[in-house]
Amino acid sequence: MSSKILIKIPPSGELEEIHFGKHFSQALWVEFEPNECEKWFGCFPLENINGYNTVLTNKENEVALVVASGFGYLIDIEKKKMILKIAEYPPITSAILTENPNYFVLGTYYSVYVIDNEKIVQKISPDFMVEGIYFKKQENGNAIGDLASAENHYESNIDFNFDLLSFKMTLDQKVKRKRFRLF
């Protein structure tokens, strides 16, 4: 089970194509491979050519998260259908797939989404001004990243740990003294 973003538009009619969205002029093409004998293409609208794009595959649950221009699409790879669309503003700026627990963790400009294989489990917004949340990796039971904040006068991005069980975010200790609180 795999999925990958294609650099070139695939030849029409080569494999089954499923379009996720209405009419659009720019597209992100993703190749899905549910098993060794089958492949299909998904086509997703690109509303902003410079937006964030990625695809993450949860092989255990046969689900992929496609982010096209900052909009998220949770796709059942085997059934070839969309489970969930995340099209709220602001757009998605980062995404990681975690293990134990299995979540897709998304950062937007000012909120965090935790998604399992079928729904949004949690949406968290900080109680201070944030201008971008960027997840980088998982370490043990935490999603690790940094964020930009006007309250920090954009001196540098602020490192944080996001606990995947309690959904609490802990900011870098030296920054907390500058008035920042936990989520």
Helices (H) then strands (E): counts for the chain: 1, 16
Q: Which residue has the higher pLDDT, 93 or 22?
A: 93
Residue 153: predicted pLDDT: 57
Residue 76: predicted pLDDT: 96
Q: What is the average pLDDT value for the chain, to the nearest integer?
A: 87
The CA R_g of the chain, rounded to the nearest whole Å, is 17
Alpha-carbon distances, residue 157 vs 105, 124, 164, 171 (angstroms): 19, 19, 21, 11
Q: Which residue has the higher pLDDT, 110 or 103?
A: 103
Instruction: Tell whether the model's pLDDT for residue 90 goes beyond 90.
Output: no
Q: Which residue has the higher pLDDT, 176 or 131?
A: 131
The two tokens of residue 171 are 């900011």
Instruction: Tell whether the model's pLDDT for residue 27 goes beyond 80.
Output: yes
pTM of this structure: 0.88
Check whether residue 59 and residue 40 sit in a common domain: yes
Could you tell me which residues come within 8 angstroms of residue 120 by beta carbon, excluding any fewer than 6 positions away? 84, 86, 113, 114
Q: Tell me phi and psi for residue 150, to 5 degrees.
A: -65, -35
The two tokens of residue 104 are 């897709």
Check whether residue 115 and residue 45 sit in a common domain: no
Question: β-strands 38-45, 17-19: how paired?
Answer: parallel
Number of structural domains in the chain = 2
Domain containing residue 19: 1-81
Check whether residue 103 and residue 67 sit in a common domain: no
Do residues 66 and 55 touch, judged by C-beta distance below 8 A? yes
Instruction: Tell whether the model's pLDDT for residue 129 goes beyond 90.
Output: no
Residue 180: predicted pLDDT: 47
Instruction: Tell whether the model's pLDDT for residue 164 goes beyond 80.
Output: yes
